[in-house]
Every structure is written in C-alpha cells, then in structure tokens.
Amino acid sequence: MKAILPGSTVGVLGSGQLGRMFAIAARRMGYRVHTFSPDADTPTGQVADKEYDHEYEDLDAVREFARSVSVVTFEFENVPSAAVEAAAQLAHVRPSGSVLHTTQHRLREKTFLQTHGFPCAPFRHVRTLEDLTGALEAVGLPAVLKTAGFGYDGKGQTRINSNEEAPAAFGALRGQEGVLEAFVDFEREVSVVAARGLDGEFKHYGVVENTHSRHILDLSVAPAYVEERTAREAVRIARAVLEELDVVGVTCVEFFLTREGRLLVNELAPRPHNSGHFTFDANVTSQFEQQLRAVCGLPLGSTELLSPAAMANLLGDLWAEGEPDWRAAAAFPNVKLHLYGKTEARKGRKMGHLTALAATPEEAARAALAARAALMRSPVL
C-alpha cells in the first residue's frame, strides 16, 4: 500500500463548499487540487490549482482530469457512474464507484441497509400508482414518498397523510421510481461522521445533534445530548456501515432517534457532511483533512474535540434585505465565519456557516444562533 504524499495532486469530482473546504485542507498540507464540474468560478475552483468546467457526460474531459491527478474523490454523490468509471481507468478513485452507486440511490441504499441488518424505517419500492396504494397498506400512514435517486435537502419528498393524497404525491415523482418510507415520529435527529483508512483504520467524531428547517440542516451541536449507550450504539452502527461498504474516506451516517430510544438509519453520505463542518474549528483533525488522509493512504488524524461546538447554516434568505452585517457577526469572539464564495444568493441556498465554540454545547448553540441573528439586524445597504 503506497501512500500518496504531499506534493501530489488530488482530484475532486464536484465543486461546491465541501470541495472548497477539502481543498483548503489539502493545500495546507502541501497537496495540489484539481476540481471537475459543469460550472466555472465555483467554491472549490476558487481555491483549487485547476478547475475543469465540463459536463460529467464529457468522458474525454473526465479522462483528461483523471490523468492530471493521483487520486480522485467526491464532494457530492450525484456523479454519473460513467464518469466515475472513466476516472477509475486512470487514477485511484476513493471511495470506490460501488460505494457511490449504492448511496446515490435511495432504493439501493435502503436495500443495502435492510439486507445487512441495519435498523431503518420500513420501506417499499414504488413504480406505479398501484404500487403506492399497496405500499401504503404495508407501511401505514403517515408515510413519506421520495424519489429513488438524486435527492438531497428534502428535494423530491412528499408526506402522505391520507390515501386521498396518494395520486398527487405519485404525480410529484414526475415519472421517476420512488421509495415509500414509514414516517418516523422521532425525538431528535443525530449523525455520526466517521472515516475509514485504506488499511481499515477507523475514526469518528462522536454523535452530533441536528436540527432541520424546511428539510435543510439548520443547526448542528456537538457533542449531542444523548445517553452514553445510545452514543456507543450509533458509533457501532456507523463503523459497521463503513466496513460493510468498504469505504475509504469520510462517510456520514444520519439517524433518527425515536421516542423509545431506538436508532434508525435515515441516510448515508459517502463524503464530508454539513453536520461535520464544526470540525474545521473544533477538532484536532477536521473531517476534510481526514478525507484527504484517508484517500491518500496516510494514517488518520486525531478526532479529539477541543471544545463543544455548534454550527449554524447561512442560507441565501439572509441576503433578502441586502448584504448581511458581517461586522455584527465578527463581534462574537468565539464565532468563526465561513463563506463559500457563491456569487448568487438564492432562497434556501447554502452560502456559508458560523461555528461557535463554548464551554458547553448549549452555550455554543446560543452563540451561533445569536451571531446569525445579528447578521439580520443592521444590514449594510
């Protein structure tokens, strides 16, 4: 097993904020970074050494990109399999295309979890309205109908509260196949961001508590306020998932924690994750550096949490009344501002985040939310 050492070039398929923070970590350690996506002047491209702006279906361009790097990794799941296969002909691809194939499609992901005995909500495959009617009988109401592929941040999801709502929900699939899942009346949502090295070494960042708004992550707090046995079980499941998938890199396992104290796996993300952004400021090794270490075959770094932390997302909604008041946020001495370099602020678009450090998770959460609120009080016109 030969490590890919500093001075080498790593490639990122995708060019959003996850790639940007990965590139910052890689550049700090002496690596060069190339990024590939259909867009130019991207969050990743702004800090990379080279930006390839071609469609993923342009396999000749993908091969040119892969020739220029020693290893390819991902910053989001929705990369066509043909592009991954083309890159794998010329460079190491980590995590592998098979991991991406499983996790980029809800039905394959849920089937993987069920087949390997991981706890998840009951689900059924839906291709026709008749399928949906039968699935509702099997799963029960309420339920959530989701597109089987290419969904994130709540996109492609419809809650069904009665049988009468089924036809409209099915129409929302727009001809795509779907997955019907039982609605989980959860107490809270938590996640475990973890990494697995080329040699099977495993590291995790503990259990993080997540709050969503409009299906988009709003606030993450670390460590989560859960019982010790729940935390141990969440990490155990996360490790088993990474090992079963044979992941090399960082993966986030998202859970529902039910009111009965049971953990159910909700989704998998085979990359650094929004709920792990706090690690950039609060841990010895961030999830982004850990991804780099893993895919390059280096030993994994310490995941020690140096301070309780909270992360609050900054969505494009904050720009509705003009430029946010950055000076007001900067007045909080234990709050860190991260902006992603996106040129257009749109409602619901992730434009940046704030990380707050404090003596307790509760204090960190209050500071992050207060700093975000301050952005809106005196907008700069």
Confidence of residue 157 (pLDDT cuts 50, 70, 90): confident
Q: Is the pLDDT of residue 376 over 90?
A: no
Average pLDDT over residues 91-102: 95
Q: Is the pLDDT of residue 116 over 90?
A: yes
As a whole number of angstroms, the distance between CA 107 and CA 148 comes to: 6
Q: Is 132 helix (H, G, I), strand (E, B) or coil?
A: helix
Residues whose CB is less than 8 angstroms from the CB of residue 347 and which lie 6 or more positions away in sequence, other chains included: 315, 316, 317, 320
Write down the pLDDT at residue 380: 42
Q: 174 vs 154, which has greater pLDDT? A: 174
Of the candidates 89, 82, 83, the one whose C-alpha atom is nearest the C-alpha of residue 14 is: 83
Q: 1 vs 126, which has greater pLDDT? A: 126
The conformation of residue 105, written as its DSSP 8-state character, comes to B
Q: Is the pLDDT of residue 381 over 50?
A: no
Task: Measure Cα distances from 301 to 187, 199, 203, 277, 351 in Å.
Answer: 32, 14, 8, 16, 28
Write down the pLDDT at residue 272: 97
Report field, pTM of the whole predicted structure over 0.85: yes
Write down the pLDDT at residue 77: 86
Q: What rounded mean pLDDT belongs to the chain?
A: 94
Average pLDDT over residues 148-176: 83
Residues whose CB is less than 8 angstroms from the CB of residue 42 and which lie 6 or more positions away in sequence, other chains included: 15, 16, 19, 35, 51, 53, 341
pLDDT digits (tens, 9 = 90+) for 192-251: 999 999 999 999 999 999 999 988 999 999 999 999 999 999 999 999 999 999 999 999
Write down the pLDDT at residue 174: 87
DSSP track, 145-186: EEESBS--TTTTEEEE-SGGGHHHHHHTTTT--EEEEEPP-E
Is there a cis peptide before residue 379, judged by omega within 30 degrees of 0? Answer: no
Write down the pLDDT at residue 38: 97
Residue 299 CB coordination number (10 Å): 12
Q: Is 15 helix (H, G, I), strand (E, B) or coil?
A: coil
Which letter, b or e, does each residue of 84-112 get, where b requires 16 or more Cβ atoms within 10 Å of its Cβ?
bebbeebbbbbbbbebbebbbbbbebbbb
Confidence of residue 275 (pLDDT cuts 50, 70, 90): very high
Write down the pLDDT at residue 155: 64
Residues whose CB is less than 8 angstroms from the CB of residue 64 and which lie 6 or more positions away in sequence, other chains included: 52
Write down the pLDDT at residue 151: 58
Which letter, b or e, does each residue of 315-332 get, where b requires 16 or more Cβ atoms within 10 Å of its Cβ?
bbebbeeeebbeebbeeb
Q: Is 365 helix (H, G, I), strand (E, B) or coil?
A: helix
Token pair 């409209």 in the structure block, residue: 168
As given in the structure block, the two tokens for residue 243 are 């090992």
Helices 17-28 + 287-295 axis angle, to 10: 70
| Proportion of the chain above pLDDT 90, given as a percent | 91
As given in the structure block, the two tokens for residue 91 are 């460079």
Q: Is the pLDDT of residue 154 over 90?
A: no
Walk me through the domains of the chain, giving residue ranges and CATH numbers: 9-93 (3.40.50.20), 122-182 (3.30.1490.20), 186-375 (3.30.470.20)
pLDDT digits (tens, 9 = 90+) for 281-315: 999 999 999 999 999 999 999 999 999 999 999 99
Strand ranges (DSSP E) for the chain?
9-13, 32-37, 50-53, 71-74, 92-93, 123-126, 143-147, 157-160, 178-182, 186-196, 202-213, 216-222, 249-258, 263-269, 309-315, 335-339, 350-357
Q: Is the pLDDT of residue 63 over 60?
A: yes
Write down the pLDDT at residue 379: 42
Lowest model confidence (mean pLDDT) among 11-15, 136-140, 202-206: 136-140
Residue 272 φ/ψ, nearest 5 degrees: -55, 155
Residue 189 CB coordination number (10 Å): 20
pLDDT digits (tens, 9 = 90+) for 97-109: 999 999 999 999 9
